A = this chain, B = another copy of it.
Amino acid sequence: MFDARTLKLAALLLAAPALAVLALAIPVAAKTITYQPQTVYFTYCYAHPPAARIASGDSVVTSTRDASNDAFLPTDTTLAPKIDLTKVNPQTGPFFVEGAEPGDTLKVHIDRIGLNRDWGWGGAIPYFGALAPEYKTMMLTPPVDDHLFIWRLDKSRMVGTLNMPKSKIGKVEIPLRPFFGTIGTAPKGKECISSLVPGPHGANMDFNEVVQGVTMYFPVFERGALFMLGDGHAAQGDGEVMGAAVETSFDVQFTVEVVKGKTIDWPRLENDRYIMSIGSTRPLMDALRLACASLVNWLVTDYGYDKMEAYQLIGQQAEIEIANVVDPEYSVACALDKRYLPR
């Protein structure tokens, strides 16, 4: 069965025989696999048994739990004692993509993100968050008090509401823009890394542009790529500064494609308007350097730019997005309008 996108590609191929070499990467019959997760994982790791083996071009319909592993009820008011710190940020997968080998790139199109419940939670988490003493920016003064904020999610209007009993405004209503906080492939070097930690393999970047409709690119470090995702966010400000977004569970459909022989160092994101490179590390400035240097190098290797001329263009036109400033590594995206890509 062909989906519309695959048909479009096939049409292109018929019309342009010179592109036929690309056809090798196009499956003759892309499938849609439905996977109901029984097991979730708390590390990105080469050793996890695949949830499913899929082919390049296949689509997957599945669902994800929220970052607490669906531990809370909407009547809860604190994270403790329900939160189990060894069981946070559960991931659905991994999906073994046939033909993906180390050195390739995995392309993932996020076809659809669906809210599947009517509430989400945010939180004041002791020793977590950018504006309070933290597990790495450690201090001797007290951390924030444990507190759970329960947001009501209205799917029809795509808004979230939070009562604010202590504030003059009383209540706020925010637009929902659902995205995946955590998404990526197995790390390199046989490392098994907590799903809380973003890195070259993606994972917990908490980037609020990973919405329905975008295409992402991840390095393949292990055979089969071992793609996973989770940590649904109904909405989130830049940086996720308080440490949690509007955390909720999702239904999702995504489509994978193996880009053979294309090697990238860090995740990339493409939407209708921009190409973006994403870097993750601390300090924040180095995450920014990784993201923007990757974008310059991308312009050089794929689009024929001279390095210093590309640097000048980035200097005048880059849009820099702060994805997260609370996870064990911070994430920054460096974006450029696609108008600057030569045909």
| A residues whose Cβ falls under 8 Å from a Cβ of B | 42-43, 45, 47, 86, 122, 124, 129-133, 136-145, 147, 149, 151, 160, 162, 164, 166-170, 172, 174, 189-194, 235-246, 279, 281-286, 288-290, 292-294, 296-297, 303-320, 322, 325, 330, 340, 342
Query: What residues of chain B lie closer than 8 Å to A288, measured between beta carbons?
Result: 130, 239, 284, 322, 325
Whether the Cβ atoms of A238 and B137 lie closer than 8 Å is no
Query: What residues of chain B lie closer than 8 Å to A149, measured between beta carbons?
Result: 312
Q: Count copies of this chain in the complex.
A: 4
**Chain B nearest CB, measured from A314 CB (Å):** 6
Q: Which of B244, B284, B315 contacts A240 (CB 8 A)?
A: B315
Whether the Cβ atoms of B124 and A174 lie closer than 8 Å is no
Q: Can you list the 3 inter-chain pairs with the closest CB atoms, starting with the nearest?
A: A168-B304, A242-B315, A166-B306
Question: How many angstroms between the C-alpha atoms of A239 and B307 in the bound complex?
Answer: 18
Query: What residues of chain B lie closer than 8 Å to A235, measured between beta carbons?
Result: 316-317
Whether the Cβ atoms of B315 and A138 lie closer than 8 Å is no
Whether the Cβ atoms of A136 and B340 lie closer than 8 Å is no
Question: How many angstroms between the C-alpha atoms of A319 and B152 in the bound complex?
Answer: 22
Query: What residues of chain B lie closer than 8 Å to A340, measured between beta carbons?
Result: 169, 172
Whether the Cβ atoms of B284 and A189 lie closer than 8 Å is no
Question: How many angstroms between the C-alpha atoms of A169 and B309 in the bound complex?
Answer: 10
Question: How many angstroms between the C-alpha atoms of A238 and B193 in the bound complex?
Answer: 29
Query: What residues of chain B lie closer than 8 Å to A138, measured between beta carbons?
Result: 131, 279, 286, 289-290, 293-294
Q: Identify 14 new A-B residue pairs, CB closer than 8 A, beyond the known A167-B309, A238-B318, A283-B283.
A: A130-B292, A131-B139, A138-B290, A139-B289, A139-B293, A140-B311, A164-B306, A168-B342, A191-B193, A235-B316, A237-B317, A242-B315, A243-B315, A284-B285
Whether the Cβ atoms of B319 and A124 lie closer than 8 Å is no
From known contacts A190-B42, A238-B320, A315-B241, infer whether A142 and B141 are also in contact, taking CB-CB under 8 Å. Answer: yes
In the complex formed, the residue of B with least CB distance to A163 is: B309
In the complex formed, the residue of B with least CB distance to A149 is: B312
